[in-house]
Structure 1
Amino acid sequence: MHGQTLMVASPFSIASIVVSMTIAAVGSGVMFAYVPFMLTHSATPWAAGAAVTAVAFGGLVGCVVGGPLIKRVGHARLFACSMAMVVIAAVLIAADLPAYVWILARGLYGAAANVNFIIAQSWLNHAASNAWRGKAMSFFYMAYVLGLGCGAWLFGRIPTDGNMAPLAVIFFTALAILPIGLTRLPNPPPPASVSVNIPMAWRISPVGLVGVLASGGLSMVVQGFTPIYAATSQVSQGDVALLMFVMQTGLLFVQYPLGVLSDRIDRRFVLLITCGLIVAAGFAALFVSFATIVVLMIVFLVFGGSVETVYSVANAHANDRADPGDFVPLSSTLLVAWSTAATIVPLGVTLLTPVFGQHTFIYAVMLVAVAYAIYILWRLTERKAVPTDERENIGIRSAQVPNATVLTDPDTGKPQ
C-alpha cells in the first residue's frame, strides 16, 4: 500500500478530490442561499432557522457514523452514496413539499456533507506527501469555501419561481461524483474511530477546546442566519447572493493574515484580536443598513472571516500542546465538540429570534465572542505560551469544513 501511495503522491494526483469537492461546494452554496431565502418568504418563516439547526444536527450524526461506514464499504463507494443523499435532499426540496420536509432534507444534507468532508480529508491526508501536505490541505479548504461563495453568487442568477435552484444542485452534485469516481488513487486505510474524551482535551488545551466549541456556534449562526437576516430585510435575491459570496472571501482577507500572525506570537493574543473584530463587526452590522449594501458587505466579510479565524487558530493552539499519542482522540473530541455547538447555538437563536427580533443572531455571536475573550484573558494568567519553534504553521482552515484529517493518519497519528 505504501509503494502504491508513493506512485501517486504528486500535487496533480489529488486534483480529482479537490475538483469533486469544489464542484459539490458550488451546489451547496446555491442551496445555502436558496433555502433560507425561500423559507423566509413562505408561510412558515420560522422554518428557515430550524433548517440551519437541522444542517448542524445532521453534521453531528455524520461525523459519528462516517468512520464506521467507511470501514464497512470503503471511501469511493461511500462518497457516491453520500452524494446520492445530497441529491435526494435536493429532490425533496424541489418537490415543493411542506416546510418540515425541507427541514428533514437539510438534516439529510448535513449528515452527507460531514461524511464527504471526512472522506475527502482522509484521502487527501493519505495521498499527499509530507513535503506538501499542509499546502494541499490549505488549498482544499480555500477551494471549497470559494466554491460555496460561487454557488451563492450563482443563486442570484437563478429564478426562484420554479425549482431551477434545486435542479442546479442536483446537476452539480452529480457532476462532482465523476472526478473522484474515476480517480486512480488507492483507497486509504479506514479511519480511526471517533472517540470523545472531553477531560483529555480539557487537560491539553482548555482555550483550544472552548475555542472550537465557540467556533461551531459562531460559524453556523453567521453562515446560516445571514441570508435569513437579508431576506427578512426585503433585500433582493441578487444582493443576498452577493452578500453570501463576499462573506466567503473573509477566508483570504481576514483568516490568512491573522493565521500568519498566530505562527509568530502567542495564538491566544490572536484569538483576542479575532474576538475584538467579531464584536466590532457585530456592532457595525447592527447600525449599518442594507441601504448602504457595499459597506454592509465589508462588515460581513470581516464578520465571516473572523469566525473562520477562531476555528483555525483554536484548533492549531490545541494541537500545539498535544503529545503525539493524543492527536487522534483530541481530533475526534474537537470534531464532535464543533458539531455539538453548531447544533445547540443555532437552535437557541431560532427559539429566541421571535422574542428579540431579527438581530438576535448578531447579539448571540457578539455574546459568544465576548465570553470567549474573557476566558482567554483568564487563561493567559494561568499558563505560558508554547514556544514558536515548537509549533507547526497554521495553514488555512475553514470552520465550515470540520477538521477530520487526524482521524485518518494510520502511520503517525500526527496532525498535518
Structure 2
Amino acid sequence: MSRTDAVPRTTGTPAGRRAWYVAAVAGLAVVVSGAFSTMPGLLVTPLHDEYQWSRGSIGLATSVNMVLYGLTAPFAAALMDRFGIRRVVMTALATVAGGALLTTVMTAAWQLTLYWGLLVGLGTGSMAMTFGATVANRWFTSRKGLVTGVLAAGSVFGQMVFLPVLSRVIERYQWRPALVTLALAALATVPLVRFVLRDHPADVGHRPYGSDTFVPKPPPVRGVASRTVHMLCDSARTGPFWLLAAAFAVCGASTNGVMWTHFTPAAHDHGMPATTASGLLAAIGLCNVAGTVVSGWLTDRWDARRLLAGCFALRGVVLLFLPMGMAATVRPSMIAFVVLFGLLDLATVPPVLALCREFYGDGSAIVFGWISAAHQIGAALVAFLGGVTRDALGSYDTVWIALGALCATAALLSLVIRGVPSPRECR
C-alpha cells in the first residue's frame, strides 16, 4: 500500500490539530512576506534624499514589484501542485531575502527595480493569497472561509508587526539595517517551513480538517506553465472572471497601491512625522486582522456578492473623507479612518475566494491567482501614478477622491456577478 493510500492515523497528532499547525506556519510565512510590502512607503523619502531620485522612479520599482507579485501568483499555485507547497515557499523566502540584501548595495535606480522589483516581487508573489488558498483547499474541508480570512490577514499583520520597528530602525540607523532585518526574518522562517509545513494531509496519514473520509494525495501535476495559461484561457471565457478581476484591480489600487506606498509620504506632506504615520498604518493592520477574519466568518454564512459589494461601497466612502483628516497631528477623524479602513482593507479577499471556488472548482486557486494579478496591476498603476500625481500637483488629494469613486464602481460590479456554464477547455 502506498503512502498516499494509507488509512488515517489513529495515534500521534490529531488530524484537526495538525491542520491548524500547518495553517499557523503558513501564516507565519505570509506574515514575513507581508512585511516586505511595508518598505516602499518607508523608502520613498530616504531614497529621494540620498540619491535624489524622483518619486516616480522609486514608484516604478514598486510598480514592477507589484506586477510581478500578481503575475507570479497563478504560476506559484501551479508550481505547488507540481513540486509541493514546502519547496516553493522555502525557495520564495530565500529569494526575498536575497533581493532585500542586494538592495542594500545598489547604486542606481535600475538596480532598485531589479533587486526589489524583480526578486522581491517574484518571492512575495509566490507567497501571495493563492498560497493561503492552496493550504485551505488541501488541509480544510470546513472552515475554509475562516482559514483563508486568517491567512489573508497574515499579510497585513506582518505589516503591523514590522512597520513600527522598521520605521524606528530607519529613523535611528537609516534604511539599510531595516532591509537586513527583513532578510534575516525571512531566512529564520525557512527551518520552520521545512520541518512543519506539509504539502497534503495524506503526507502524514491524516484527513483534511472537517472531512469524514481520507483523501489520497493527488499525483504531481506536470506542465505547470501550460496548465496555468489554459486555466486563464478557460476562465477568461466567463463573465465572472472579468467582473472579479475588474473589482479586484480596484481593490489593489485602493489598498496596496496607495496606502502602503503613499500614505506615509502624504501624511508627511501635512507635517506628520514618518514614525507617526507608520504607527497609523500599523493600527490599520491591527484592525485589518479583525476585519478579514470576520469577513471570512461571514463568507461561510452570507452571499459573497453582497458582502463584497458592501466592503467596496464602505471603503469608497471612507477614502473620500481621508483628505479632511490629514493633519500634522492625529485627530479623531484620522482615528476613525484608521479603524474603518482597517476593517475593510482585506475584507474583500474571503468573498472573492469563495466566488472563485463556486465558479471554478478544483482550479480555483490558479484562477484566483490570475484575479490577484489584476489586483496587483491596479496596485502598480496607482503606486506609479500616485507618485506622478504628487510630483505634478504637489498633493495626493486627487488620488484619494478618484479611488473613492472607483470603489463605488467596484461595488456595482460585485452585485452583477452571476454564475455561467463551465467553459470549453482552451487549447
Same fold per superposition (TM over 0.5): yes
Please point out which of 342, 363, 379 is paired with 2:379: 342
- Matched residues in 2 for 1:6 and 1:138: separation? 28
1:262-288 deviations in Å (ceiling 9; x for gaps): 666654444443333223222321111
| Residue equivalent to 1:21 | 29
**TM-score w.r.t. length of structure 2:** 0.74
CA contact (8 A) 2:23 2:135 kept: no
Q: Read off the aligned partner of 1:203 and give its amino acid letter.
A: G
Moved more, 216-225 or 21-30: 21-30
For structure 1, the 5+ residue unaligned runs are 387-416
2:95 equivalent in structure 1: 85
CA shift for structure 1 position 29: 5.7
SS of alignment partner, residue 309 of structure 1 = coil
Map 1:385-404 onto structure 2 (within 5 A): none
| Aligned partner letter, 1:150 | V
CA contact (8 A) 1:49 1:350 kept: yes
* Equivalent position of 1:111 in the other structure: 122
Instruction: Tell me the matched-pair count.
Output: 381
Q: Deviations over 1:154-191 (max 9, x none)?
A: 12331243622111112111111110122373567546
Q: Note closer, same or farther for the CA distance 1:126–1:224 as it changes in structure 2 (3 Å cut).
A: same
Partner of 1:411: none
CA distance in 2, matches of 1:274, 1:132: 21
Distance 1:72 1:181, change over 3 A: same
CA distance in 1, matches of 2:349, 2:140: 25
Which residue number in structure 2 is paired with residue 154 of structure 1?
165
Distance 1:39 1:359, change over 3 A: farther
> CA 1:334/1:132 → structure 2, altered by over 3 Å: closer, same or farther?
same
Deviation per residue, 1:43-64 (Å, 9 max, x gap): 2241342233122122134225
Residue 49 (structure 1) aligned with residue 86 (structure 2): no
Equivalent-residue separation in structure 2 for 1:75 and 1:374 (angstroms): 36
Q: Distance in 1 between matches of 2:129 and 2:114?
A: 22
Cα 1:121–1:300 shift into 2, 3 Å: same
Q: 1:141 to 1:287 in 2, by over 3 A?
A: same
Matched, 1:196 2:232: yes
Counterparts of residues 270-309 of structure 1 (less than 5 Å): 270-295=307-332, 296-309=334-347
Counterpart Cα distance in 1 of 2:144 and 2:299: 20
- In structure 2, how many angstroms separate the alpha carbons of the residues matched to 1:153 and 1:87? 20
Answer yes or no: is the 8 Å Cα contact 1:59–1:111 preserved in 2: yes
Partner letter of residue 309 of structure 1? Answer: A
Which AA in structure 2 matches 1:10?
A: G
AA of the residue aligned to 2:29: M
Shift of 1:250: 3.2
Cα distance in 2, alignment partners of residues 5 and 146 from structure 1: 37
Question: Measured at CA, do residues 304 and 110 of structure 1 come closer, stay the same or move farther in structure 2, by a change above 3 Å?
Answer: farther
CA shift, 1:84, in A, is: 1.9
Q: 1:367 to 1:122 in 2, by over 3 A?
A: closer
Structure 1 residue 211, shift from structure 2 partner: 2.0
Native 8 Å contact 1:209 1:314 kept in 2: no
* Pairing partner for 2:156 from 145, 167, 183: 145
Q: Using the alignment, how far apart are the partners of 1:324 and 1:180 within structure 2?
A: 27
CA–CA distance in structure 2, aligned partners of residues 361 and 5 of structure 1: 57
**Which amino acid in the other structure matches residue 53 of structure 2?**
T
Instruction: Give, as a single letter, the amino acid of the residue that structure 2 aligns with 1:293.
Output: V
Q: 1:354 aligns with which of 391, 404, 407?
A: 391
- 1:10 counterpart residue number: 16
The answer for the alignment partner of 2:254 in structure 1 is: 218
Contact 1:16 1:179 in 2 (8 A): no
Q: Cα RMSD over matched residues?
A: 3.7
- Percent identity over the alignment is 13
Contact 1:282-1:366 within 8 A present in 2 as well: yes
Q: Does 1:100 align with 2:110?
A: yes
- Structure 2 alignment gaps of length 5 or more: 201-216, 421-427
Aligned to 1:412: none
Corresponding residue for residue 194 of structure 2: 181
TM-score normalized with structure 1 length: 0.76
Give the secondary structure class of the aligned counterpart of 2:368: helix
Question: Quick one: structure 1 residues 305 and 237, their matched pair in 2 at CA, closer, same or farther if it must change by over 3 Å?
Answer: same
After TM superposition, the structure 1 stretch with the greater mean CA deviation from structure 2, 192-201 or 145-154, is 192-201
Give yes or no for contact 1:50–1:347 (8 Å, CA) kept in 2. Answer: yes
Q: CA deviation at 1:116?
A: 2.5
